[in-house]
Amino acid sequence: MNTSVPLLELRGISKQFPGVKALDDVSFAVYPGEVHMLVGENGAGKSSLMKVLCGAYRADEGEFFHCGEKVEIRSPADARKLGIAVIFQEFSLVPYLSIAQNIFLGREFSGRFPGTVDHARMHAEAKKLLDLLGLDVSTKTLVHELGVAQQQMVEIAKALSQQARILVMDEPTAALSDRETERLFTMIRQLQADGVAIVYISHRMAEVFSMGDRITVLRDGRKVASLLPGEATPDELVHLMVGRSVDRSYARTFCKTAGEMILEVKDLSSANGVKGINLTVRSGEIVGLSGLVGAGRSEVARAIFGADRVTAGEIRLHAAPHRGGPDKAVAAGIALIPESRKAEGLALIRSVCDNLMLPGLPLAFPNRLYKTSKARQIAGALIDRLRISTPSALRPVRLLSGGNQQKVVIGKWLGSGSRLFIIDEPTRGIDVGAKAEIFALIDQLVQQGAGVLMISSELSEIVQVCDRSYVMRDGRIAGHLSREQLSEESILKMGVHHE
Amino acid sequence: MNFATGTLRIGARAADLKTIAYRLAAALAICVVLTAASDVFLTTNNLLNVLRQASLLFLLASGLTLVILTAGLDLSVGANIGMSACIAASVIKLTGSAVLGAMTGVGIGLTIGLANGVLVALMRMPPFIATYGMLWVVHGVTYWFMAGTTIYGFPPGFRALGSGHFLGVPIPVYLMFVFLALGTFFAQRTTYGQEIYAIGANREAARLSGVPIAKRLILVYAVSGAMAGLASLVFLARMNSAEGDIGEAFTLPAIAAALIGGTSLFGGVGTVSGTLVGALILTLVLNGMNLLTIDASWQPLVTGVIVLLAVFFDTLTRKGEA
Amino acid sequence: MSDTIIAIRPSAFGAGLRRVPGVAWILGLLVVVFALASRDFLSAPNLLNIGLQSVILLMLALPMTLIIMTEGVDISMGAVLTLASVVLAWVLAHEYSLMFALAASLVTGLVFGIVNGMLVALLKMPPFVVTLGTMGIAQGLALLATDGQSIVVSNSTLEAVYAGSWAGIPQTLLIGAAAYAVTHWLLYQTRFGTYVFALGGNPDALKLAGIRANFYLIAVYAFGGLMAGLAALILTSRMSSGHPTAAIGMEFDAIAAVVVGGTSFEHGNGWLFGTLLGVLAVGALRNGLNLLTIPSSVQVSCIGLLVIVALLIDGFKGKR
């Protein structure tokens, strides 16, 4: 096995998105028969790099080399030709087709007549793959009947069937049980022995060290280190992921003595996978809810707000029990600033004014008669207060910049009499200046006696802004950090797996 | 490709006005063409006739507009007219009371609308299929109820609703303007209207802003049903007879009127006044075909083409905005 | 025959088996009720009659199953069938051969299918409204071509299509069986069929696999048009005429059969054998109500209710 020439090498890859540099001069090589671990905080650039690898994104700058020869990856087809297969976390499976049909979708074996499929051969080939993976299910089973873990295995089988030489996996064990994880690892070792190169993204320290031949650490779109597992301890790796740079731009006066209890959540479980959550938010404090992507933070927010069905537990608002859908929550003074601005936060085709007024309509117009002049006045005041940059209150909100859109999403709750603000990813996709303004605004809210529960994937934000923070892992609260304990490292240590 | 560059500078409300202005201009253009092509077109009688026909279509399409604003659709409006008219007619015949008959007609329409609303909002069925199923249920019950008979001859007081005049203008035209005012008021000047637009523009965002989605959806389907009931009375009064198939030809034109008027099938965009202009344009086209002695058989075909064109432009516009 | 085809694909059968109770229950209930209510219902001539009457419905319901699986619908089908029948009658009335008339009818259906498919696939227009529009057009054309009157044809070859039999089996039934076999083969044995499941279940997966999803989506609607054109042959033969409102609204019976048969409007969850049972259920309902001299209007209402109930059950299953 030739290990001196990398199977695939990326040199100086950069990728710019409006407002963010997702990848900045990243070089990366993967050798045959190696498991290359890719680690980093949320938003460090791992998934961008993965998408460049599989041709879903086109790099702005940089070169690709395959077995030492210069190549181009401009489309998924290019990547496939080079033998690159990606297993995404979101599945690309068809629910009412069988396992075998899914594995060979688009690459069916031709039958006797043109256009027909050779089912017998397809099932036989699929069976071989499933045996290899140790998945003991009939290849004729329809995919929607499988559990998440088994679906993941089918995804892997699909990648294997493409004769992939370079296999990219994004947190493949996230949904797997211990036994299935062990099977996956056995299979990975087998592939390794066959000379397949594996790029493996993980948050779990244990597998990073046990499976990885090499570890590359990304931070803020840059490669900060490439090392061998023996060269660092898990704590040192976390330290590398976080970095030392501490940005003090959102400094605020922290809350010395929190006020009355606003929200009290006891043993809350929801239909969306949240289990036994206990937390409190008091007047005048910003409480963080951190953890890795997929730990169930947004699901907690949605359960409290009534957007997902609560299956067990209790929510108390100002000491009174609360239950019901979003309309009840809004009436009770809860505001939710959702994770996805465009999908859940804004009516994009409607005007800034219309969006700003929506939750506060019953409060502004108690007799249900809508007065345009009054609405303009209220919206105008909010636009001034939030310094939303728009030529007119009547401009469709889709034409605003990301930062201004986010101000609208927050601003629409200022007129609704809310006392509890649940803010999910307040600064996603907006530039630095707008971030500072958003945090100043959140600070203002708590100064006026509101309570804030803030979810953020950017650990530095949690550390700088929050009075204290809960850390989640696997749908549960993994721990609580006071102001003094709060640091990026302490959050990461609590949030990642150390099994 | 941005089809809505106009909205860059002038804002959403002004854009609505512009949409309507363009369509009024189109209506005027059709009038000019028809004046040139036919001697009969520009006579008071014919123009009043156009207005009367348009008013009936508008009454039906105005309620439907609210439904489409929520990104839904009500395919049962035509069948609704049939049932409301037939049952109202028999109540009038039985009791001799036009008031009771009118109340029955609107009540039947409302009930059908409520049933649609419950299926769509509470049972979460796709609006197309729910109201399509309702269409056939209602249709069948009406035919069974009428059993091929015709009910005709109503008291003059009732007939005035469809064929009476006041100051030389047909009564339905007054109704049209009353409901234009009411509909516009409801859509633009109440918080319910605001919430309905929000539901159509982004249902999830509206839900997460505390809008009670199910209640508002039931409301719009109920209003649409009640408006169909009202339209059925006007039609009944005009025809002076009721048969099972009385409303069948109305569904497609009503949808066409709303779409021509600038209401988007994807929800959140459109106005009741736009629908009025849409109803006017469609009626002018059909009236013009009539005056030019084009076979009435062309009408469903032309309406179908118009619907396709309207949806086509609607789709293009939405793609430009996305 | 269907048994042997299913045996090749036990997965479809296994998944199907769990859904059988729904449709079979409805079908069984209808049969029992009507058998009790009318002595004639279970008689051999009447059962044959149900079969004969159901063939046209089946020919619409088969492609409708595929269309609904792609999360679409085609409500122009009844009108297109009507128009194709009118075209067929018109061509025959002008003394052309039956083959030529059939070709004209098939082309008519195909053109409408392709136009529907292109509007839905390429322009991304909502299927319901697109086909509502083309329904108006087909209806209009049928009216125009006939002036609202029937086109009567007296052609012995045409009449033989419906009335004739082959080896003691009515030809109409054979055509229906062939249509079912072909559709079954397309759905379960070909790439096309595999992609139909994917079009509704996860179209992104198709695109990731480098498949031209739009091409197959258009093909699904085109298949629907073609089947409507073929069904026109039986319809015209049965009535010995082309009438401009002959099959108006029949698409609803087809949608009912598909939905009752367990195909869902979501996730590409379709089952062709269920559609066959659904067609028989709708056919039995119509026939039984006829025997009880219940007017066709009430029959339509019953089918409407059947659809709403089936959708409610579907939604209920989806929630759990």
Q: A-C interface: how many C-beta pairs under 8 angstroms?
A: 75
A249 domain-assigned: no
| Nearest CA distance, A281 vs chain B (angstrom) | 21
Give the separation between CA B56 and CA B235, rounded to whole angstroms: 7
pLDDT at B11: 46
pLDDT at B313: 84
Give the separation between CA C297 and CA A314, rounded to whole angstroms: 53
Do A348 and A457 lie in a common domain?
Answer: yes
Pairing of strands A222-227, A214-219: antiparallel
Which H or E element spans position A66? strand A61-66
Q: Strand runs (DSSP E) across C175-285, as ranges? A: 241-242
Concatenate the DSSP letters of all residues of C78-131 into one string. Answer: HHHHHHHHHHHHHHHHTT--HHHHHHHHHHHHHHHHHHHHHHHHTS---HHHHH
The helices-and-strands tally (H runs, E runs) of chain B is: 13, 4
Do A291 and A160 lie in a common domain?
Answer: no
pLDDT at C18: 53
pLDDT tens for each residue of B122-159: 988 889 888 988 998 999 899 888 888 888 888 888 88
pLDDT tens for each residue of C115-125: 999 999 998 88
Of B164-178, B266-280, B285-299, C92-106, the one with minimum mean pLDDT is B285-299
Pairing of strands A214-219, A277-282: unpaired
User: Which of C252, C228, C241, C248 is closest to C81 using CA atoms?
Assistant: C228
Cα end-to-end span (Å), chain C: 35
pLDDT at C8: 39
Judge whether B82 and B241 are in contact, CB under 8 Å: no
| 3-class SS of residue A261 | strand
Cβ distance A105 to C192 less than 8 Å, yes or no, reads no
- Interface subset of B 143-162, CB within 8 angstroms of C: 143-144, 147
Average pLDDT over residues A54-67: 86
Nearby residues of B20 by Cβ (< 8 Å), 6 or more positions away:
B261, B262, B271, B273, B274, B277
Cβ distance A115 to C190 less than 8 Å, yes or no, reads yes
Q: Bigger pLDDT: C223 or A160?
A: C223
Cβ distance A344 to B204 less than 8 Å, yes or no, reads yes
pLDDT at B75: 92
A350 to chain B, any CB pair closer than 8 A? The answer is yes
pLDDT at C10: 44
Average pLDDT over residues A151-176: 82
Domain count for chain A, please give it.
2
**Residue A19 predicted with pLDDT over 70:** no
Pairing of strands A261-270, A277-282: antiparallel
Determine which of B120, B131, B132 to mutate to test the interface with C (most C C-beta atoms within 10 Å).
Answer: B132
pTM (predicted TM-score) = 0.83
pLDDT tens for each residue of A333-369: 999 999 888 889 999 889 999 999 999 898 899 999 9
Judge whether A284 and A258 are in contact, CB under 8 Å: yes
Judge whether C193 and C186 are in contact, CB under 8 Å: yes
Chain B residues with CB under 8 Å of C255 CB are 129, 132
A67 to chain B, any CB pair closer than 8 A? The answer is no
Give the separation between CA B63 and CA B60, rounded to whole angstroms: 6
Chain B residues with CB under 8 Å of A304 CB are none
| Nearest CA distance, B271 vs chain A (angstrom) | 14
What percentage of chain B has pLDDT greater than the value 90?
A: 51
A247 domain-assigned: no
Give the separation between CA C282 and CA C255, rounded to whole angstroms: 10
Concatenate the DSSP letters of all residues of A264-283 into one string. Answer: EEEEEEETTS--SEEEEEET
B5 to chain A, any CB pair closer than 8 A? The answer is no
Judge whether A450 and A420 are in contact, CB under 8 Å: yes
Q: Which residue of C has its CA nearest to B250?
A: C136
Q: Which residue of C has its CA nearest to A141?
A: C11
pLDDT at B9: 38
pLDDT at C15: 55
A459 domain-assigned: yes
Q: A-B interface: how many C-beta pairs under 8 angstroms?
A: 107
pLDDT tens for each residue of C228-237: 999 999 999 8
Give the separation between CA A408 and CA A351, rounded to whole angstroms: 10
Phi, psi of B50, deg, nearest 5: -60, -45
pLDDT tens for each residue of B24-41: 888 899 889 888 888 888
pLDDT at C267: 83
Question: Which of A242, A272, A299 corresponds to the end of one domain?
Answer: A242
Q: Bigger pLDDT: C4 or A141?
A: A141
Q: Bigger pLDDT: C199 or C5?
A: C199
pLDDT at B195: 95
Do A175 and A318 lie in a common domain?
Answer: no
Question: Which of A181, A209, A242 corresponds to the end of one domain?
Answer: A242
Determine which of B70, B191, B195, B317 to mutate to test the interface with A (most A C-beta atoms within 10 Å).
Answer: B191
Structure tokens at C29: 């209930």
pLDDT at B14: 67
Do A64 and A196 lie in a common domain?
Answer: yes
Of A51-55, A85-89, A158-162, B114-118, the one with minimum mean pLDDT is A85-89
Give the separation between CA C168 and CA C226, rounded to whole angstroms: 28
Which residue type does C38 have?
S
Fold of C2-32+40-319: ABC transporter involved in vitamin B12 uptake, BtuC (1.10.3470)
Q: How far is CA C29 from the centre of its chain?
A: 23
A77 to chain C, any CB pair closer than 8 A? The answer is yes
Structure tokens at A108: 């069916």
pLDDT at A494: 86
Give the separation between CA C259 and CA C64, rounded to whole angstroms: 10
| Nearest CA distance, A32 vs chain C (angstrom) | 25
The CATH code of the domain that includes A384 is: 3.40.50.300
Do A327 and A427 lie in a common domain?
Answer: yes
C301 to chain B, any CB pair closer than 8 A? The answer is yes
| Nearest CA distance, C183 vs chain A (angstrom) | 13
A254 domain-assigned: no
| Nearest CA distance, A382 vs chain C (angstrom) | 38
User: Which of B194, B317, B255 is closest to B72 using CA atoms?
Assistant: B255
B1 to chain C, any CB pair closer than 8 A? The answer is no
Chain B residues with CB under 8 Å of C138 CB are 304
| 3-class SS of residue C286 | helix
A283 to chain C, any CB pair closer than 8 A? The answer is no
| Nearest CA distance, C247 vs chain B (angstrom) | 15
pLDDT at C35: 87
Q: Which residue has the tokens 């068809």?
A: A94
Q: Which residue of C has its CA nearest to A77?
A: C210
Tally of CA atoms within 13 A in the half-sphere of C190 that contains its CB: 14
Chain C residues with CB under 8 Å of B301 CB are 136-137, 139-141, 143-144
Cβ distance B209 to A412 less than 8 Å, yes or no, reads yes
Parent domain of A413: 261-495
Do A227 and A355 lie in a common domain?
Answer: no
Q: Which residue of B has its CA nearest to A393?
A: B11
Cβ distance C210 to A101 less than 8 Å, yes or no, reads no
Report ipTM for this prediction.
Answer: 0.85
**Residue A179 predicted with pLDDT over 90:** no
Concatenate the DSSP letters of all residues of A451-491 into one string. Answer: EEEEE-S-HHHHHHH-SEEEEEETTEEEEEE-TTT--HHHH
Cβ distance C136 to B265 less than 8 Å, yes or no, reads no
Cα end-to-end span (Å), chain B: 10
Vertex C209 angle, CA C207 and C211, to 5°: 60
A376 to chain B, any CB pair closer than 8 A? The answer is no
Between B188, B189, B201, which is nearest A350 by CB?
B201
Do A304 and A194 lie in a common domain?
Answer: no
Give the separation between CA B211 and CA A103, rounded to whole angstroms: 43
Q: Which domains does chain B have, with CATH numbers?
A: 14-317 (1.10.3470)
Tally of CA atoms within 13 A in the half-sphere of C43 that contains its CB: 11
Structure tokens at A103: 């594995």
**Residue C305 predicted with pLDDT over 80:** yes
User: Which of C273, C279, C222 is closest to C59 using CA atoms?
Assistant: C279
Chain A residues with CB under 8 Å of B188 CB are 370, 372
Judge whether C23 and C256 are in contact, CB under 8 Å: no
| Nearest CA distance, B206 vs chain A (angstrom) | 8
C264 to chain B, any CB pair closer than 8 A? The answer is no
Which residue type does A8 have?
L
Instruction: State the DSSP code for B170.
Output: E
pLDDT tens for each residue of A397-443: 988 888 889 899 999 998 888 899 999 988 876 766 677 888 888 98
| Nearest CA distance, C101 vs chain B (angstrom) | 23
Do A37 and A181 lie in a common domain?
Answer: yes
Chain A residues with CB under 8 Å of C11 CB are 98, 138, 140-142
- Which chains have at least 3 CB atom pairs separated by less than 8 Å from chain A? B, C
Give the separation between CA B40 and CA C132, rounded to whole angstroms: 33
Give the separation between CA B259 and CA B315, rounded to whole angstroms: 11
Give the separation between CA B44 and CA B55, rounded to whole angstroms: 16
pLDDT at B7: 36
Do A235 and A268 lie in a common domain?
Answer: no
> What band does A18 get if pLDDT is binned at 50, 70 and 90?
low
Would you tell me how many other CB atoms lie within 10 Å of the CB of residue C46? 18
Question: Which of A242, A277, A299 corresponds to the end of one domain?
Answer: A242
| Nearest CA distance, C206 vs chain B (angstrom) | 22
Radius of gyration of chain B (CA): 19
Beta-bridge partners for A268 = A277
Which H or E element spans position A421? strand A420-424
